Amino acid sequence: MIDMLHEFTISLVHNQVDEIMEKLTLHGYYNLYYEQPIEQFTEENGYGFHERLNTDVDLKIILEESEERPVHVEQARREIASILKVGKEAIHYQFITTQDWQQPFPIIDLQNGWYIKPAHSEEDIQGRVISFEPPRAFGSGLHGTTQDCLRFILREDLRGKKVLDLGAGAGLLSIASALAGAEQIVAVDIEDVESEVLYNAGLNNVENRISVKQGDVLYSGLELDGLFDWILVNIAANEIKELHAFLDSHLVAGGKLLLSGMVEWNYEETLALYIEEDYEVDQISHSDEWVTALLKSKKE
């Protein structure tokens, strides 16, 4: 059981963070967090983001102390400074009581009997749980579109179904599909996310049903075998439009598309393209300005 928490902070330029985190991880420091300096702006496709690489950020290193694992503060401070080749005075220290500590990633109640619980949390949950190791750089929890997609998936009986998850990220939608009974899930992302997806899948004992592929299905020539009963797409409206021919060619007759990442000012035009291609809108969910839609193919 965790008795105390010790927070060490160092300020550095954002474009140095990945290298610094890698060094610390190699030396056994794993609880690393910072707030990404991102500027958000509105555009036709939804929202755009600009990452401010030359902005200073505060990287926080959290050490957990228990009776079995005592923390020697000054020794840890000196070691961190030595790893980063900086003076000890550059490492700022703060003691945090467990009662006051706000976890970088909270337990999320999906309001349907399911909870998303960070792997390090020891809190007892009265409900069904998806265990998840959140990305270290983010501190605000899951996006509303992800939560909406999870609610759609977790109310379904996907036993025996084959699912394609495009833009899989850390694998939450793939894991939810497996927990809903899907027999086979293919998770695809343009980034190399295999280790992250399979790690999270392992936390939920479903890694044997998920395979991961890297590539861009539109432009890299990535080939996918067979047809899918469900296809999950949580990206943005323009990309959803571009994908319509690909999705249609990889979906079984009568299959379902879960489309998310659209916004109030572009979802009607986006869905109209699919309706013209013989799809019907089964259900729509609105979370603030974000829109998620479940479509069904009318082909037989």
Q: What is the pLDDT along the chain (300 residues), one digit of tens a residue?
A: 446 789 999 998 888 888 898 889 888 888 888 877 655 556 666 655 545 556 888 999 988 887 778 889 999 999 999 999 999 999 999 887 655 455 557 788 999 999 999 887 778 888 999 998 876 433 334 788 899 999 999 999 999 999 999 999 889 999 999 999 999 999 999 888 899 899 999 999 999 999 999 998 888 778 898 999 999 999 888 899 999 999 999 999 999 999 998 999 999 999 999 999 899 999 999 988 899 999 999 988
What confidence score (pLDDT) does residue 221 get? 75
What confidence score (pLDDT) does residue 139 get? 34
- Fold for domain 144-297? Rossmann fold (3.40.50)
Residues 6+ apart with CB under 8 A from 192: 214
At which residue do the structure tokens 């909870």 appear? 115
- pTM score: 0.70
User: Domain boundaries in the chain?
Assistant: 4-97, 144-297
Compute and round to an integer the Cα radius of gyration of the chain: 21
φ, ψ at 6 (rounded to 5°): -120, 125
What confidence score (pLDDT) does residue 297 get? 96
End-to-end CA distance of the chain: 56
Distance (Å, whole) CA 269 – CA 241: 9
Domain spanning 4-97: CATH 3.30.70: yes
* 76 token code pair: 């840890």
Q: Helix crossing, 172-179 with 144-154: angle to 10°?
A: 20
Distance (Å, whole) CA 270 – CA 32: 39
